[in-house]
């Protein structure tokens, strides 16, 4: 039994795994590039501001 494609749920193709086709792989990439998929966490600006607040003054 093969894992279903995460986009259309058809059986995955080994050549384009975990997707069934290049089309589904491109749809997934497009979702990442447009921000529809995100990895949870703080954004870069919040981390930079937090780092500035925690700096110790030079002795």
Residue-wise pLDDT tens digits, 8-59:
999 999 999 999 999 999 999 999 999 999 888 877 777 777 776 555 666 6
Pairwise CA distance, residues 9 & 18, whole Å: 10
Spatial separation of the C-alpha atoms in residues 18 and 13, rounded to whole Å: 7
Number of structural domains in the chain: 1
Section 4-11 average pLDDT? 97
What is the number of alpha carbons within 13 Å of residue 57 lying toward its C-beta? 1
**Residue 1 belongs to what domain range?**
1-34
What pLDDT was estimated at residue 25? 98
Cβ-in-10-Å burial (0-12, 13-18, 19+) of 52 comes to exposed
- Rounded Cα distance between 19 and 12, Å, is 5
**Is 14 inside a domain boundary?**
yes
CATH number at residue 4: 3.30.50.10
């Amino acid at each position: 039994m093969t894992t279903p494609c995460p986009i259309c749920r058809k059986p995955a193709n080994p050549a384009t795994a975990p997707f069934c086709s290049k089309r589904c792989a491109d749809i997934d990439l497009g979702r990442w590039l447009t921000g529809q998929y995100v990895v949870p966490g703080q954004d870069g600006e919040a981390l930079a501001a937090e780092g500035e607040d925690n700096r110790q003054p030079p002795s």
